Structure 1
Amino acid sequence: MQIEVRPATVFADVATMVGPKRPDANVCWCLSYRIPSKQNQELVGLRRGELVKQLVQEDPPPGVLAYDGDEVVGWAGVHPRADTTFARNRRIPSLDEREVWSVWCLRVRPGHRGEGISHPLLAGAVAFAFERGAEVVEGYPVDNRGEKVDLTMAYVGTRALFEAAGFTKAAETTSVLNGFPRLLMRLERPAP
């Protein structure tokens, strides 16, 4: 298996990864951290997908997709922190004014989980951010200490996944997900 990570510019592939089975269903579409809370609550049904269709046409698009050949198998939400709700999040601190990008969602398609796709997916999200000027990439994974994380809450990643990608713990947070504390982890842009 050769995983290739590309910018999320193909709406149908983004819909495969984060969209609902029924287009009018109110699922996340990976918007909950990407748009203001009020807008997220007001945006329902088909309008959620319509917004994502617009976002994939922007530069930068809202994330990256992982492919095994022509098949989409993974999604990562990654964008400048200033354009996300993390810019004002009271539970996850902002550490400085540098050009920080956030990775907030990692999703591997059912049928492909357990194949190690999350590692190249996270590496691709980091590369995407650095190629577009990020000085630092942050993630906010759970510190699950090796315990099982409920699949519906695993989208934030684990401390071990981020450490394997070279991230280090930068701060504690007051955010808790699935009973586990979330950490603020960072990876600095490599020196030229």
Structure 2
Amino acid sequence: MAIEVRPATVFADVATMVGPKNPDSNVCWCLSYRLPSKENLALARRQRGERVQRLVRETPAPGVLAYDGDEVVGWAAVHPRADTSFATNRRIPHVDDVDVWSLWCVRVRPGHRGQGISHSLVAGAVDFARASGAPAIEAYPVDNGGERVDLTMAYVGTRSLFERAGFTKAADTTSVINGFPRVIMRLELT
């Protein structure tokens, strides 16, 4: 299996990964960290998908997609931290004043999990950030010590996933998901 990771510029493929089956459902669309809280909370149902349609037309794209041939099999949200709610998040502190990029969501489609696609997505997100001029990239995974993470909360990734990609722990946070503390993992790109 040769996984190719590309910038997320095809709305239908992004919708396959983060959109609902019913367009009138009120789901995340991976906007919770991407938009300021007030804007995120104001968007409902179809408006959420319409907002993502606009994001995929922007430069840089809102993330990357993994493909197995022509089939989209994964998504990773990655963008400059300054354009996300991590810019003002009190639970996840800034390590320094570097204009880092944030990588906050890694999703693999059911039926494709356990094949290393999350590793390809992280590597692709790093390559995308580097090609876009990012000096460093951060992720905010759980430090689960090898314990099982509930699938609905696994989108943040695990510390070990990012360690295998060359990231190192930069700081603790006061954020907790699924009972596990989140840590700031960072990779310098310059």
Tell me the CA shift for residue 99 of structure 1: 2.0
Residue identity opposite 1:173 in structure 2: T
Aligned partner letter, 1:153: M
| Structure 1 stretches lacking a partner, 5+ long | none
Cα RMSD over matched residues?
0.6
Mapped to 1, the partners of 2:74 and 2:23 lie a distance apart of 20
Counterpart CA distance in 1 for 2:169 and 2:180 is: 15
Distance in 1 of aligned mates of 2:144 and 2:11 = 33
Aligned to 1:44: 44
3-state SS of 2:137 partner: strand
Structure 1 CA distance for aligned equivalents of residues 124 and 21 of structure 2: 27
Task: Give the alignment's TM-score, normalised by structure 2.
Answer: 0.99
DSSP-derived class of the 1:113 partner: coil
Partner of 1:137: 137
Identity among equivalent positions (%) equals 75
In 2, distance between residues paired with 1:124 and 1:56?
A: 17
2:100 corresponds to: 100
**1:50 maps to amino acid:** E
Q: Residue type matched to 2:98 in 1?
A: R
Q: Any idea what SS the aligned residue of 1:161 has?
A: helix
Q: Could you tell me which residue of structure 2 aligns to residue 109 of structure 1? A: 109
**TM (normalized to structure 1)?**
0.98
The total of aligned residue pairs comes to 190
Aligned-partner Cα distance in 2 for 1:160–1:184: 12
- Matches of residues 16-165 of structure 1 in structure 2 within 5 Å? 16-165=16-165
Q: Is contact 1:142-1:183 (8 Å) kept?
A: yes
State the match for 1:10 in structure 2: 10
Write the deviation string for residues 124-162 of structure 1: whole angstroms up to 9, x where unpaired. Answer: 001000110110100000000000000000000000000
| Aligned-pair CA distance for 1:96 | 1.5
Amino acid at match of 2:168: T
1:51-107 deviation line (CA, Å, top 9, x unaligned): 000000000010000000000000000000000000000000011221200000000
* Partner secondary structure for residue 93 of structure 1: coil
SS across alignment from 1:67: strand
Aligned-partner Cα distance in 2 for 1:189–1:42: 35
One-letter amino acid matched to 1:90: R
- Provide the C-alpha distance between the structure 1 equivalents of 2:90 and 2:19, rounded to a whole number of angstroms: 28
Unpaired stretches in structure 2, ≥5 consecutive residues: none
- How far apart are residue 11 of structure 1 and its match? 0.2
The amino acid that maps onto 1:133 is G
CA offset at residue 38 of structure 1? Answer: 1.1
CA–CA distance in structure 2, aligned partners of residues 56 and 183 of structure 1:
28
